[in-house]
Amino acid sequence: MKRMQRSSVLVSGLRGLGVEIAKNVILGGVKSVTLHDQGQAEWRDLSSQFYLREEDLGKNRAEVSRTRLAELNSYVPVVAYTGALVDDYLTQFQVVVLTNSPLEEQQRVGDFCHSNGIKLVVADTRGLFGQLFCDFGEEMLVIDTNGEQPLSAMISMITKDASGVVTCLDEARHGFESGDFVTFTEVQGMTELNGCQPVEIKTLGPYTFSICDTTGFSDYVRGGIVSQVKMPQKVTFKPLTASMAEPEFVLTDFAKFERPAQLHLGFQALHSYQRKHRRLPKAWCQVHIHTHLYLGFQALHSYQRKHRRLPKAWCQLSKCLN
């Protein structure tokens, strides 16, 4: 929360996705929010941008959205900016969020943010599909990796061993994983464990796990509660330019293992099409579909020519399909 309260956030792109992000960031209570957009409100924006009205057509999206978004939280200053995202302007922010931006701008801003310690989020939606990229720097300290409440379990036995084995009551599985850290309370007998520093565990089964050397401890008598302790972890993020070449996907549906790599290539093809034709392909138009597919395979061949191999994600996909 303290980090949020000290953060000035730039949200670029005030179409449907951008305004939703801006709304949530403002309600979250950051230091300040800057809305950036160089485009004018269009008819199609009215279907997803809920802070635009018919009378706003032809006006800058950031400027007309600012007043209504600012009403959400009087403690968060909200300003509009319609200029270019030059490097000097970006230095005042701790977080930059890009939506509806060209790939070239994403890479340029991404490289600058990574080298200057600015957190970057790139988000985009196309119909029912979306993409999200995060670059929080080379040493991002994560206090809570999953956002869930710490687990706890009742103890029925602790052995005296080089790697003491803790057995929990049979009523419920302990739910811990190898590598988790735990601490103990209310243990009778082996009181050395009560209030100890967090101990790393190795799961042995749904009701058992091993801890540190307990041979020098007192004999276990009864009772006790083991509780999970969330330890800070350092996470390293790659810049967007590097991630485009060697993406690391977050799989949400293991039944569709190939989907992330396909969408990654599809979004690159859409950027190529938009750069070449100054617009997106029309839905259900066979000519535009074939052009889109051609650009996608062209991006794949270009990578293969440069690196003399396919991207790792596509190698994994090929093994899966074979």
* Domain at 121, CATH number: 3.40.50.720
Q: Is the pLDDT of residue 107 over 90?
A: yes
Residue 65 belongs to a domain: yes
Residues in a beta bridge with 194:
184
Q: Of residues 208 and 141, which shows the higher confidence score?
A: 208
pTM here? 0.76
- Choice among 26-35, 81-90, 111-120, 275-284 with the minimum mean pLDDT: 275-284
Number of domains in the chain: 3
Residue after which a domain boundary falls, among 99, 114, 142: 142
**Structure-derived torsion over alpha carbons of residues 234, 27, 22, 260, reported in degrees to the nearest 10:** 50
Residue 211 is predicted with a pLDDT of 95
- Give yes or no for a contact between 231 and 180, defined as CB atoms under 8 angstroms apart: no
Residue 208 belongs to a domain: yes
Same-domain pairing of 269 and 207:
no
Q: Of residues 261 and 66, which shows the higher confidence score?
A: 66
Residue 293 belongs to a domain: yes
Residue after which a domain boundary falls, among 181, 200, 231: 231
Same-domain pairing of 118 and 9:
yes
Instruction: Give alpha helix (H) positions in 183-258.
Output: 240-245
Q: Is the pLDDT of residue 180 over 50?
A: yes
147: left (phi over 0), alpha (psi -120 to 50) or beta: left
* Domain at 158, CATH number: 2.40.30.180
Residues in a beta bridge with 79:
34
The contacts found for 177-183 with CB under 8 angstroms, 24 or more apart, are: 177/203, 178/202, 178/203, 178/209, 180/228, 181/228, 181/229, 181/230, 181/231, 182/211, 182/226, 182/227, 182/228, 182/229, 183/226, 183/227, 183/229
Q: Of residues 142 and 65, which shows the higher confidence score?
A: 65
Q: Of residues 40 and 262, which shows the higher confidence score?
A: 40
Same-domain pairing of 157 and 138:
no
Same-domain pairing of 70 and 137:
yes
Residue 237 belongs to a domain: no
Same-domain pairing of 120 and 15:
yes
pLDDT digits 0-9 by tens, 221-235: 999 999 999 988 888
Residue 315 belongs to a domain: yes
Residue 260 belongs to a domain: yes
Q: Identify the burial level of 185 via C-beta atoms within 10 angstroms of its C-beta, where 0-12 means exposed, 13-18 middle and 19 or more buried.
A: middle
Mean pLDDT computed over 51-57: 94
Domain of residue 271, residue span: 246-321
pLDDT digits 0-9 by tens, 186-206: 999 999 999 999 999 999 999
Same-domain pairing of 214 and 258:
no
| DSSP H/E element including 270 | helix 259-277
Residue 236 belongs to a domain: no
Instruction: Give alpha helix (H) positions in 29-75.
Output: 61-70
Residue 133 is predicted with a pLDDT of 93
Same-domain pairing of 198 and 277:
no
